[in-house]
A and B are shown apart, each in its own frame.
Chain A
Amino acid sequence: AQKITQTQPGMFVQEKEAVTLDCTYDTSDPSYGLFWYKQPSSGEMIFLIYQGSYDQQNATEGRYSLNFQKARKSANLVISASQLGDSAMYFCAMRATNFGNEKLTFGTGTRLTIIP
């Protein structure tokens, strides 16, 4: 079974500061993928970033980077130079990449509020 833990229910961060959202995971699968999604107040889920368990480098997408520490089973999302539009719920998720499995397991989310 897979489990995602997000221990920060809410965070308040000053605009332009960097933000780290924590995510730890547990799985017995040797191959897996880790995802981060953003959910603004409008409700839609927006894909942010993906990290494969065998990727040698940490994933980056613009202001988003994923701090992947495999031995610690952590996949923290780092947002550089936060903006007011970053205020949203953020979900960490994972998927075992064995054949035939496409299910994502989600964490409970972190509500990020950017303060002007």
Chain B
Amino acid sequence: DVKVTQSSRYLVKRTGEKVFLECVQDMDHENMFWYRQDPGLGLRLIYFSYDVKMKEKGDIPEGYSVSREKKERFSLILESASTNQTSMYLCASSLTGHPKGYTFGSGTRLTVV
């Protein structure tokens, strides 16, 4: 069964910490995405990548960066975590043009205290 794996299901971090959220897919997909999900706001795109070492800003990139050194891995980095980054983070991957869209990971619920 194809999978997108996010390294942590729940994470609690302190304000100001550097936080790494890891995402690995085993489907050889070119495209990978990071979204955050907040009640009443749906899913908002943070960053995405269409190829190794390529990254593009989504709709809400402020306070985040990403790294894609290998095709299967896409990391989201919170340089200095803040309480307003408390959220559910969803990683997804896709095959270009595939009609089923994305395959999602199970999500990481991050709490910044």
Chain A positions within 8 Å of B, measured between CB atoms, are: 4, 6, 9, 33, 35, 37, 42-45, 47, 50, 52, 91, 93, 95, 97, 100, 102-109
Chain B residues with Cβ below 8 Å from A50 are: 99-101
The 6 closest A-B pairs by CB, nearest first: A45-B104, A108-B42, A106-B43, A43-B107, A106-B42, A102-B31
Query: Contact: B58 with A44, CB < 8 Å?
Result: no
A50 CA / B31 CA spacing, docked (Å): 19
Q: Are A102 and B96 in contact (CB-based, < 8 A)?
A: yes
The reply to whether B104 and A44 contact each other, CB–CB distance below 8 Å, is: yes
Q: Is the CB of A33 within 8 A of B96?
A: no
Q: Is B64 an interface residue (CB 8 A)?
A: no
Assembly CA distance A6 to B41 (angstroms) = 11
Cβ of A45 and Cβ of B41 under 8 Å apart?
no
Between A and B, 18 residue pairs with Cβ closer than 8 Å are A4-B42, A9-B40, A37-B101, A43-B106, A43-B107, A44-B104, A44-B107, A45-B92, A45-B102, A47-B100, A47-B103, A50-B100, A52-B99, A102-B97, A103-B58, A106-B35, A106-B42, A108-B41
Find chain B residues with CB under 8 A from A106 CB: 35, 42-44
**Chain B positions within 8 Å of A45 at CB level:** 90, 92, 102, 104
Report the contact-size class of chain B (Cβ under 8 Å from the partner).
20 to 34
For window 45-94 of B, CB contacts with A under 8 Å fall at: 45, 48, 50, 58, 88, 90, 92, 94
Q: Which of B40, B45, B92, B102 has the most CB of A within 10 A?
A: B102
A61–B101 alpha-carbon span in the complex (Å): 15
Check A33–B101 contact: CB distance below 8 A.
yes
Q: Is the CB of B106 within 8 A of A103?
A: no
